[in-house]
Every structure is written in C-alpha cells, then in structure tokens.
Amino acid sequence: LGSALGMNKIKQKELLKLNGIPVARGIHILPEETSAVFEKLKKENLDFPLVVKPNQEGSSLGVSVVHTKEELLPALEHAINIHEGEQQPALIEEKLEGMEYSCIVLFDKNNKPMLLPPTEVVHETGTEFHDYTQKYMPGRAQKFTPARCSEKTLHNIQQACLKAARILDFCTIARIDGFVKKDGTVVVVDPNSLSGMAPSSFLFNQAAEVGMSHTDLINHLLDVELDKYNIK
C-alpha cells in the first residue's frame, strides 16, 4: 500500500493531510484542466514562486520552480508530458523556505522503529532545488548528518517522519524528505518506501551515525523481510 501511494503524490498527500501531517500548500491539475490553472491558484491564494511536479515521478524528474505567470504553463506542460504520449496530472505547490531534510526510519521484526539522525541537504548555489543531477552525481550538493539544528528540531523531524511512515503503512524502512520552516514547522514533502542504496546515500550515512556498518544495515533489512514471510 505504501509503495503504491508513493506513486500517486496526490493521493499520498491527501492521506497525510487528513491525518494532521503538515504538507506543502498547493493544487493539482489534470491534463485537461490546464486552462483553469490561474483560477485555481487564485482560489487557494497561492503566489509565486511555485514548484511544479508530475504526479507519478521520482528523483526530481519533470520538476520546475517558476517565478512568473509566463513560466507556469510551459512548466505545467513539461510535468504533464514528462513521458511522451503518456500524460499525467501535475501538482503545483508553494515553494517552501527553510532547512531541507531527509530522514530514515527503520523497523524491526516487531515493527518497533529505529529513528536515524536526519540529514540536512543544501543544494548548490545558483540552483533552486535538489535536482536529479545533485541527487545522483558524486560531490554535488552538501549534506550534513546529523542536520545542523537543535536537538528539539531533530526530535520533531524524527517524530513527524515516523508518524508519516505509520500513516502510509511503510514497513522495514522509510525515507521521508521535507523542510523545517522558519517557524519550526516540520513539513513532509516526499515520503518513500525505499531509500537509495548507493554507498554514499542518506541511508548509510545516517546508519553510520548510530554505529551500523553497510553489512549490519543490509543484514537488518534482509532479516526483517525474511521474518515477515516466515523464512528462517
């Protein structure tokens, strides 16, 4: 269920919002509704800059930050048509300001959580978000684990991410991305039912902070999953 919801950002976001998780303010637009976009934005009192993203993509594919009305429709068409010949809805959201984070939650065989220390993400100067290239090319963007904030804020991030993981029925592992706004509100933007597993990924960096090696972590994931299927 969690993974399926992750491939439908609109439904995922609605479920989080219904359960009291702060999410980015925004609207969604179906492919046949593009002419009504400005009316919808006005109704929800949303102003530029805005983030436009496809409903069913990951890794920042098809994402744009727009600052003017003239930029919006091309960005919307790009998101809707990110796969040629296969249109999809798009989300238009407020551009959040604050500390960007990524937080891993692990679960054991009894579904008890292990909350890893969140990572702070600082995207490159001259860019407006953590885009595909910065996510996957070595040495791009800056990452600080644990995040450079108070113990209270670290705790609040972990608790918000745990709550989101529970609501979305994630098990074994979750990676939740979002922002801490300047007023301290922890906003959930992108819950994932699996983390990237490159050697330098958020997952292994955060696990190392609590003394888990790559081998420890991978064995943990395998042990928990095998136990769920009663494979000893």
Per-residue pLDDT tens for 15-28?
999 999 999 999 99
Query: Is-contact 70 58, C-beta < 8 A?
Result: no
C-alpha–C-alpha distance, residues 204 and 163, integer Å: 22
User: Residue 156: pLDDT above 70?
Assistant: yes
Q: Is the pLDDT of residue 38 over 80?
A: yes
In this model, does residue 44 exceed pLDDT 80?
yes
**Structure-token pair, residue 54:** 């496809």
Q: CA 34 to CA 122: how far, in whole Å?
A: 32
Mean pLDDT of the chain: 93
The confidence score (pLDDT) of residue 8 equals 94
**3-state DSSP call for residue 189?**
strand
pTM, entire model? 0.92
Q: Average pLDDT in the 26-40 region? A: 95
Question: Which pLDDT tens digit goes with each residue over 103-146?
Answer: 999 999 999 999 999 999 998 777 777 766 767 777 777 899 99
69: three-class secondary structure by DSSP: helix
The number of CA neighbours under 13 Å toward the Cβ of 157 is 30
% of the chain exceeding 70 in pLDDT:
98
Q: What are the two backbone dihedrals, phi and then psi, of residue 34, each rounded to the nearest 5 degrees?
A: -60, -30
pLDDT of residue 116: 98
The residue ranges of DSSP E strands in the chain, in sequence order, are 26-29, 50-54, 64-66, 90-94, 99-107, 113-115, 119-122, 142-144, 173-180, 186-192
* Edge-to-edge strands, sheet with 50-54: 26-29, 90-94, 50-54, 64-66
If you average pLDDT over each of 1-5, 73-77, 127-131, which comes out highest? 73-77
Strand partners, 66: 50
| pLDDT at position 61 | 86
pLDDT of residue 56: 94
Q: Is the peptide bond before 146 cis (omega within 30 degrees of 0)?
A: yes
